[in-house]
Amino acid sequence: MLISSLPIVRDTLSPLKQSSNWADFYSRKRLGARYPTEWVIRTLAGGNYPGLKMDKNRYAGARILDMGCGDGRNLPLLLDLGFEVHATEITSDIVTSLHAMADKYDWPVNFKVGMNASLPYPDQYFDYMLCCASCYYLEGTMTWAGVRKELARVIKPGGLIIANFPDDQTAILNESIRQADGSQLITNDPFNLRNGTRFMAVTEKTDLEPLLTPEFRLIGSGHQVDDFYGLRVSVFMTVSERL
């Protein structure tokens, strides 16, 4: 794994260009059944893990935001757990496609266009937020501190954010360039979707608490490392309380 610290590159993709990339990606996907992500299942619906204590009896009727819900793969799980489910994606085209899927499967999900740095909700609106491969994207002049503040704005004090963050050995960050703000500029995405985007990645578990403060208190974390036929996918999973 090669992660360079020089040069400092500041000319990243505009949010408009990145939105276009994802709109094109999702437009090519078949409208059909989706399957939840394993770490999300284990975190929200799994057993009693020694490093995570969550009261899973509080879900019924609680309001959750699936922030950057992608193809909607985690939505049926959230509905099955009893949440009032809201979800965002970054373009109206993606949201229209998600609406069509929700109508097809009769999912009562409230969709809106929004991104991690600009969420179309009032303050302290959600009891929970899920960020599955979504909150750590930074485009243009966006900063992680600004994103973290915006995520915190819409969560009630005492509410929980369930989020994952890539470690700096994951395949997408191969040959990435470290920026002055600690983010990683992607230059060699094996899927050719994220080049020019920055990720807020971490190196080790002790990086997580500083990454989440002062708006959140880390209450549980894990590390998942997978080798998908030669492609490393490695992330830290976190559950944090809104302070």
In the prediction, which pLDDT does 40 show? 98
Residue 89 lies in a domain: yes
Whole-structure pTM value: 0.90
Q: In a structure prediction context, what are the per-residue pLDDT tens digits for the chain, which is 243 residues long?
A: 434 443 333 344 455 555 666 556 555 555 566 799 999 999 999 988 999 989 999 999 999 999 999 999 999 999 999 999 999 999 999 999 999 999 999 999 999 999 999 999 999 999 999 999 999 999 999 999 999 999 999 999 999 999 999 999 999 999 999 999 999 999 999 999 999 999 999 999 999 999 999 999 999 999 999 999 999 999 999 999 999
Residue 103 lies in a domain: yes
**How far is C-alpha 86 from the chain's CA centre?**
14
Q: Which two tokens mark 157? A: 């004090």
CATH, residue 66: 3.40.50.150
Residue 23 lies in a domain: yes
Q: Amino acid identity, residue 174? A: N
CA distance 72 to 198: 23
Residue 118 lies in a domain: yes
Residue 62 lies in a domain: yes
In the prediction, which pLDDT does 6 show? 36
In the prediction, which pLDDT does 1 show? 44
Q: List CB contacts of 55: < 8 A, sequence separation 6 or more.
A: none
Q: How many domains does the chain have?
A: 1
Residue 7 lies in a domain: no
Give the domain range for residue 27.
15-46+54-164+204-242
Cα dist from 56 to 154, 160, 183, whole Å: 21, 12, 33
Residue 186 lies in a domain: no
Residue 25 lies in a domain: yes
Least Cα distance to 218 among 227, 226, 209, 210 occurs for 209
